[in-house]
Amino acid sequence: MSQRRRNFNFKSYSCPYPACTKVLQNPSGLTQHINAKHRRFQNHTIPQRSPRPEAGTDLQEDLQGAFEDLGAHGQPPEPERTSEDSDDGCYINLVHPTINGQPCNQNGAFISMDASPPPRTSKSPHDWTPYENRLEFETAEFLFQDAQLSEAKIKRLLGVWASTLLLASNGDVNNSAPPFASAKEMYEVIDATPLGDAPWKSFTASYTGPRPNTDVPSWMTMKHEVWFRDPKVILKNLLENPDFKDEFDVAPYRQYTTSGSRRYQHFMSGDWAWNQCNLIAKDPTTHGAMFCPAIFGSDKTTVSVATGQNDYYPLYMTLANIFNNVRRAHRNAVVVVAFLAVPKAEKRHANDPQFRKFRKQLFHSSLARIMRSLRAGMLKPEIMRCPDGHFRRVIFGLGPYIADYPEQALVACIVQGWCPTCLQHRTELGNDIIEGVRCREHTAELLQNFDSATLWDDYGIDASIVPFTSHFPRADIHELMSGDILHQLIKGTFKDHLVTWVGEYLEKTHSKKVADEIMDEIDRRIAAVPPFSGLRHFYQGRNFKQWTGNDSKGLMKVYIPAIAGLVPPEMVKAISSYIEFCYFARLDVHTEDSLKQMEAVLARFHQFRDIFRATGVRPDGFDSLPRQHSLKHQTTHIRNFGTLNGLCTSIMESKHIKAVKEPWRRSSRYEALGQMLVTNQRLDKLAAAHIDFSARGMLEGSSISYVLAELEGRGNNNDNDTESEEGHGHNDNERDGDGRDEDVEDEDVEDRDGEDEDGEDKDEDEDEEKNDGAIEGNRDHVDAVVKLAASPVRKYPKTLAEIGAYISIPDLPDLVALYLYDQAHPDTPWESTDPFPQLPHIARRVHVLHSAGATFYAPSDPSRTGGMRREHIRATPTWRKGPSRYDCVFISANGEDGFRGLHVARVRLFFRFRVDNQTHECALVEWFSHYGNEPDEETGLWIVTPDFDADGSRTQSVIHTDCIVRGAHLIPVFGADHIPFNFPFSASLDSFRAYYVNRFIDYHAFETIY
């Protein structure tokens, strides 16, 4: 006899928070979702670095000299001043006085800044064109975008769907049709979407120079096809996207704190956009326009190691006005605009100078052809609608070009090994003094006065190439070379240079056997690092072949403690200083103070890196390392373009997955590019349709709630739409506002879903890991909050005394009594000479939990547009069905800045109980003490030591979770001792006498722990 099944739940509950599309099937699920994703923060703020502006002079200096390049159009008006209340305080914005993005009507006549935008559309909220209804759109979106099903699988699914409907309608074929008759029909409907349309075009290019009389190389006869979309259409689509309405700038601005300190964040806060507008403003017809620089970037990628065409050359485009965090959050702000040709030659011709010249010129000529539709708009404004709904007179420009170093050399038409930004000779790149910057005018003068050999050898200029920027006004390619965090800083200097040099130092200093033993020791130390939320664990150290960017970032977090004591102190100081520089470079907001600190850290790195020269690792010094030389330009790039996290090649590399690799996997693999182009176009159309339907309020709720509303509107509402589980003896428990069962405190929770028979949390670790990292939500003027998990773990005893005995901490009741005394008498702490506090009667059971969620504001870390992140702090006897895990935390102390205002403790137990109708969410912790009053001189990290009582046991306390700021990551001070082979990382926090406080675990910790 088959088991009777539950009916489908036709109830749905939509998340009430704006921009959240989550739909739950019961009220308890909705409550849990809100608590997990949208909890409003009401806790303490984290001690932050105090700014140290220099007498507030920056603001006055900028006011005096900001407009000296405006030309002879009379005295410009006083720059518009706007005040901005942000999460970090109140700022003053000085908006460019003439190219200020003033709204206009559709005919270009300026209107008031306070005017409301005209309606976007006259379409009805029931118009789903080209779809018949919401079900069709959501089916197409799910099958094509989310599930990425093949045509054959879609055909099979539609057949099963039709069969189900046919069975339910008793054979009525007229009422048994699924949303689409076939996959082909679904594709045709998607293609008919007018929104987001940017058709693909193509052109071909071939070699036109002299050819040999015989044995003509194949590359000279081949035609190279380039597929592209009109960047002007792409730019128009980006500007019209209402999803960006609160996250774009209409004009360049200079932002200051109330004390006068300059701030750099989003692109338009930098000097480059302001200076470009000074040039544009020399033409009075451009006044009031909105400057929109287009940012381009290119990067070859490989989709397979199989034979055939497996490498592609996508060109990406984004809009500089869009906020950095939107570009990083992968919200359709970066678009693939072209697939460039990849010329191939036989191996014997691969290094032929003619072929190399052709390949470079093909690249530049292709870019010039692709971008030429923007040129007219660089001289005369064009009227376009913006994300906020207003029309503006838009003037285009070429913004920075995002590329790694080899690509930068290609784009800037320089010789490999030279700097694309400055004139420093390739053999003198290690000098501290920079000889001067490259510019379009200087390069043109050199081209007129020197032959190509002199330009190549003495100036690093490839005179045989005509750069694409020569076709566009105000475009100086040397100005447009921005810094790259991923390839220049992380993969380049850190992994390829410093980590490699440490290995070379060991081989030069010791015998091969001893060097291998020390390298093994470094690997064991890395493998012994305690776990932490989001930390990539190197189970076998760093000894593996295929390195990714995330691997290099993960190694950077734990490398310093692993080498301390095994290499010279100067080597540790050099690498520690460099890592600190990288973390400064990645900050979400910079001030002149932070830039000066960044420059000072770089100078310290240059001072200590000389150890690699002294030990023979770099006997010739550092004069031929362009990636290390580029570090000197990073602060200039930040002043020009805002913080660098909005211009990193990692943004493009992450786009490779959606724009290249997944479309390739969906193709037949035969002449795949054409299929990939169609896939990208359909994805763009689906995204544009989704945004349009959402803006008209048509995607609220779930598809089920939509159908029920439609039926009710037709008068066909079925009064039988009761609880879905009715008739089956099942009813979901309703939950109260804090996400727990209403009577959870009054009952013994013995049988709960989600736990196995041993009391372990089934899949809890995996679920929490998925929820760690970037989350939706805004800061709400509070930096951090920590909340215990909603569901307690069963199998624990009911009382404090029993729980204390169960976890081998019999003093737990006394520690709780002291905690409650401190809560009741915060100004009169208990003294040992006082009578010991009595533990009040706890009528209800005490609930134990294995984790707590810490949510905090961390905009410099990978985050969504609100800048919020979540990590889970664990105190569990078994983690991932393995050994125990008891994490460490930072606890707020005396309110001082940095680490001096924090304590460190290790959580042994999370628990919740009620006394006098008040719920106490607590943690049993073991304390650490600061070792010294300053960070360790060699590593730059603070050190803590475990606290012990007189009897040799760890010093413990019970605290409220409100005291916890966030998780802390400690790494043992290994010293010169060797750790055993297969030493378990789970034992690290119990086995050493001192620990480094890892400020490099993430960027938020770096900004907090100093």
Euclidean distance between CA atoms 338 and 231, whole angstroms = 9
When pLDDT is averaged across residues 283-311 and rounded to a whole number, the result is 89
Please say if the pLDDT value at position 69 is more than 80: no
Domain-embedded: residue 854: yes
37: confidence class by pLDDT, cuts 50, 70, 90 = low
Lowest mean pLDDT among 161-175, 501-515, 567-581, 583-597: 161-175
Q: Which pLDDT score is estimated for 17? A: 66
Q: Which pLDDT score is estimated for 826? A: 78
Please say if the pLDDT value at position 33 is more than 70: no
- Do residue 636 and residue 785 come from a single domain? no
Domain-embedded: residue 697: no
80: confidence class by pLDDT, cuts 50, 70, 90 = low
Domain boundary among 603, 630, 646: 646
10 Å CB burial of residue 262 (0-12, 13-18, 19+) is buried
- Do residue 1003 and residue 860 come from a single domain? yes
Which of 51-55, 573-577, 757-761, 911-915 tops mean pLDDT? 573-577
Lowest mean pLDDT among 79-83, 349-353, 402-406, 947-951: 79-83
Euclidean distance between CA atoms 36 and 43, whole angstroms = 16
Please say if the pLDDT value at position 215 is more than 70: yes
Lowest mean pLDDT among 271-280, 416-425, 971-980: 971-980
Grouping H, G, I as helix, E, B as strand and the rest as coil, residue 449 is helix
Q: Which two tokens stand for residue 99?
A: 């190219």
Q: What is the pLDDT of residues 976-997, one digit of tens each?
A: 778 898 899 999 999 999 999 9
Higher local confidence (pLDDT), 944 or 746: 944
> At residue 903, what is the residue type?
H
Instruction: Decide if 740 contacts 790 (C-beta within 8 A).
Output: yes
Q: Which pLDDT score is estimated for 5? A: 64
Residue-range definition of the domain harbouring residue 624: 485-646
Euclidean distance between CA atoms 776 and 325, whole angstroms = 12
Of 806, 812, 808, give the one whose Cα is nearest residue 794.
Answer: 806
Q: Which two tokens stand for residue 904?
A: 């460190």
Q: Which pLDDT score is estimated for 307? A: 59
Count of C-beta atoms within a 10 Å radius of residue 567: 20
Instruction: Decide if 203 contacts 369 (C-beta within 8 A).
Output: yes
Q: What is the mean pLDDT of the chain?
A: 85
When pLDDT is averaged across residues 789-800 and rounded to a whole number, the result is 90
Domain-embedded: residue 247: no
From the centroid of its chain, how far is CA 160? 40
- Do residue 812 and residue 945 come from a single domain? yes
Instruction: Decide if 270 contacts 640 (C-beta within 8 A).
Output: yes
Q: Which pLDDT score is estimated for 934? A: 95
Q: Which pLDDT score is estimated for 740? A: 36
- Do residue 784 and residue 641 come from a single domain? no
Please say if the pLDDT value at position 386 is more than 90: yes
Lowest mean pLDDT among 87-101, 160-174, 197-211, 727-741: 727-741
Domain boundary among 646, 669, 702: 646
Domain-embedded: residue 73: no
Euclidean distance between CA atoms 102 and 46, whole angstroms = 39
When pLDDT is averaged across residues 145-169 and rounded to a whole number, the result is 93
> At residue 689, what is the residue type?
A
Q: Which pLDDT score is estimated for 894? A: 79
Q: Which pLDDT score is estimated for 862? A: 67
- Do residue 813 and residue 953 come from a single domain? yes
When pLDDT is averaged across residues 205-222 and rounded to a whole number, the result is 92
Any idea of the CA torsion for 931, 933, 939, 940, to the nearest 10 degrees?
140
Higher local confidence (pLDDT), 431 or 633: 633
Q: Which two tokens stand for residue 400?
A: 């920075």
Instruction: Decide if 368 contacts 232 (C-beta within 8 A).
Output: no
10 Å CB burial of residue 45 (0-12, 13-18, 19+) is middle
When pLDDT is averaged across residues 41-65 and rounded to a whole number, the result is 39
Q: Which pLDDT score is estimated for 844? A: 82
Of 90, 84, 92, 94, give the one whose Cα is nearest residue 63.
Answer: 94
What element of type H or E holds 868? Answer: strand 868-876
Instruction: Decide if 529 contacts 546 (C-beta within 8 A).
Output: no
Higher local confidence (pLDDT), 729 or 783: 783
Instruction: Decide if 139 contacts 181 (C-beta within 8 A).
Output: no
Please say if the pLDDT value at position 541 is more than 90: no
| Angle in degrees, CA 966, 970, 975, rounded to 5 | 165
Of 577, 571, 573, 566, give the one whose Cα is nearest residue 603.
Answer: 577
800: confidence class by pLDDT, cuts 50, 70, 90 = very high
Give the total number of structural domains in the chain.
2
Euclidean distance between CA atoms 599 and 846, whole angstroms = 53
Q: Which two tokens stand for residue 595?
A: 């830039």
Q: Which two tokens stand for residue 745?
A: 């405190």
Q: Which pLDDT score is estimated for 21? A: 65
Q: Which two tokens stand for residue 535?
A: 């930390």
Q: What is the pLDDT of residues 643-693, one digit of tens each?
A: 998 899 988 888 999 999 999 999 998 889 999 999 999 999 999 999 999
Q: Which two tokens stand for residue 818?
A: 């002291």
Q: What is the pLDDT of residues 226-268, one digit of tens each?
A: 999 999 999 999 999 999 999 999 999 999 988 889 999 999 9
Of 244, 624, 590, 226, give the one whose Cα is nearest residue 425.
Answer: 624
Domain boundary among 611, 646, 681: 646
> At residue 605, what is the residue type?
F
Q: What is the pLDDT of residues 741-792, one digit of tens each?
A: 333 333 333 333 334 434 444 445 555 555 566 666 666 655 678 899 888 9
Q: What is the pLDDT of residues 468-494, one digit of tens each?
A: 999 999 999 999 999 889 999 999 999
Above pLDDT 70, what percent of the chain? Answer: 82
Q: What is the pLDDT of residues 583-626, one digit of tens each?
A: 999 999 999 999 999 999 999 999 999 999 999 999 999 999 99
- Do residue 642 and residue 768 come from a single domain? no
870: confidence class by pLDDT, cuts 50, 70, 90 = confident
Any idea of the CA torsion for 150, 153, 157, 159, to the nearest 10 degrees?
120
Instruction: Decide if 947 contacts 927 (C-beta within 8 A).
Output: yes
718: confidence class by pLDDT, cuts 50, 70, 90 = very low
Question: From residue 231, how far is each of 191, 293, 336, 338, 388 by CA, in Å?
Answer: 20, 12, 10, 9, 21
Domain-embedded: residue 272: no
- Tally helices (H) and strands (E) across the chain: 31, 32
- Do residue 768 and residue 636 come from a single domain? no
Q: Which pLDDT score is estimated for 752? A: 37
Token pair 């980006």 in the structure block, residue: 238
Domain-embedded: residue 749: no
Q: What is the pLDDT of residues 411-454, one digit of tens each?
A: 999 999 999 999 999 999 998 888 889 999 999 999 999 999 99
Q: Which pLDDT score is estimated for 859? A: 76
Which of 94-98, 322-326, 702-706 tops mean pLDDT? 94-98
